[in-house]
């Protein structure tokens, strides 16, 4: 299988698959009664992800054209903007009536609605991209009624493609074309204790205040020995892309990913990939088993019997001493 050939598929040749009939293979009905073929939409998102991947790999990360957003660790590059522009043009041409919510074009006050909406992060892991660390992904999702129904996440450096369609499972397609259903282990081991887990965390770019204190205190407690009041997890990992962290939990490579402060575009595609792989999605904040997509607090646990998944969530919540993350509703 040649990824180059696939990625060279002309975006202009992508035809709209939106249809008001329900004769398609995987029809989904949106709140206004329209139906469309989510599997075809997934295929188109894959083509767009490959095209975006070519742009990212061709960009020279040694040329630092990045700019700061909120602070020196919150950055945007010319590539982020160019890739999002390509994705926007491609999706608008194919699906003119669908809404679009992208990291680089997000406007304060923009909110996810019930309408079919593409949620896009053109480069998740921008700091990795700037430093040449090859854990970088394009993250593309379609939501309907504010829930993700398709997710595509592609790391163009490793050529790992993670996909999911609602009700059709999640898959990883590797550089050589091998396609595997997720999780990778067909019968994942039960989760019995946080003590046995490999946990993904990120550090975010907000480095002061109560959210920072809570984040770092939980990271310390995850690692600390039991006699110091910690969970003594196997270890923690921080890879710099929340989108890929979700995929790695979906694959079963990480047992869990606990994260707050990221945005809907970082996690939307990852949420459906996780859930279609049998993973559990809760909030990073205690007590919330049904987090809002735009709520900025997430806890992903890999596929396993549900009682064990919930035990892991409750163990981490127990390390938070009743404290919670708080974020302004809008950027």
Q: Is 135 in the site for ligand IPD (CB under 6 A)?
A: no
Task: Say how far apart CA 126 and CA 243 lie, in whole Å.
Answer: 12
Find the shortest distance in angstroms from Cβ 135 to ligand IPD: 9
- Within 213-272, the residues that bind ligand IPD by CB under 6 A are 240-242, 261-262, 266
Q: What sign has the CA pseudo-torsion 56, 70, 135, 171?
A: negative
Q: What is the DSSP letter of 176?
A: T
| Measured distance CA(235)–CA(17) in Å, rounded | 45
Q: Which of residues 186-205 bind ligand IPD (CB under 6 A)?
A: 202, 204-205
Contact 7, 161 (CB under 8 A): no
Q: Which of 53, 61, 125, 183 binds ligand IPD (CB under 6 A)?
A: 125
Minimum separation from the CB atom of position 129 to ligand IPD (A): 8
Judged by CB under 6 A, the residue of 121, 160, 276, 315 near ligand IPD is: 121
Asked if residues 133 and 123 have their Cβ atoms less than 8 Å apart, the reply is no
Minimal distance, residue 121 CB to ligand IPD, in Å:
5
Cβ 97 to ligand IPD, closest distance in Å? 27
* Contact of 265 with 121, CB cutoff 8 Å: yes
| 83 or 94: CB nearest ligand IPD | 83
Residue 203 or 223: the one with the smaller Cβ distance to ligand IPD is: 203
DSSP-derived 3-state class of residue 283: coil
- Applying CB under 6 A, the site for ligand IPD has a residue count of 14
Answer whether 42's CB lies under 8 Å from 66's CB: no
Nearer to ligand IPD, 121 or 276 (CB): 121
Closer by beta carbon to ligand IPD, 240 or else 291: 240
DSSP state letter for 286:
T
HSE at residue 70, side-chain half, CA atoms within 13 A, is 8
Which residues of the shown chain bind ligand IPD in the complex (CB under 6 A)?
103, 121, 124-126, 202, 204-205, 240-242, 261-262, 266
């Amino acid at each position: 299988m040649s990824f180059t050939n696939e990625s060279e598929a002309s975006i202009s040749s992508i035809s709209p698959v939106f249809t008001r009939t329900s004769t398609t293979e995987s029809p989904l009905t949106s709140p206004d009664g329209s139906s469309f073929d989510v599997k075809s939409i997934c295929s188109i998102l894959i083509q767009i992800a490959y095209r975006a991947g070519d742009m990212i790999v061709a960009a020279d990360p040694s040329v630092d054209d990045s700019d700061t957003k909120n602070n020196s660790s919150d950055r945007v590059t010319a590539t982020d903007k160019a890739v999002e522009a390509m994705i926007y043009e491609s999706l608008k041409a194919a699906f003119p009536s669908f809404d679009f919510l992208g990291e680089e074009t997000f406007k304060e006050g923009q909110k996810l609605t019930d309408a079919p909406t593409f949620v896009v992060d053109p480069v998740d892991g921008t700091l990795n991209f700037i430093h040449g660390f090859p854990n970088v992904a394009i993250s593309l999702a379609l939501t309907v009624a504010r829930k993700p129904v398709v997710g595509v996440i592609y790391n163009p450096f490793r050529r790992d493609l993670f996909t999911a369609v609602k009700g059709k499972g999640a898959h990883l397609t590797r550089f050589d074309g091998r396609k595997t259903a997720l999780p990778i282990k067909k019968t994942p081991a039960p989760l019995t204790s946080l003590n046995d887990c490999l946990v993904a965390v990120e550090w975010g770019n907000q480095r002061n205040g109560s959210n920072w204190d809570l984040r770092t205190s939980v990271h310390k407690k995850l690692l600390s020995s039991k006699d110091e009041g910690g969970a003594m997890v196997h270890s923690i990992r921080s890879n710099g892309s929340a989108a890929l962290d979700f995929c790695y939990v979906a694959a079963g490579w990480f047992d869990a990913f606990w994260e707050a402060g990221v945005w809907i575009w970082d996690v939307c595609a990852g949420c459906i990939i996780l859930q279609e792989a049998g993973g559990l999605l809760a909030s990073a904040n205690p007590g919330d088993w049904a987090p809002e997509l735009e709520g900025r607090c997430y806890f992903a646990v890999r596929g396993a019997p549900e009682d064990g998944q919930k035990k892991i969530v409750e163990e981490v919540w127990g390390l938070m001493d009743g404290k919670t993350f708080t974020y302004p509703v809008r950027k």
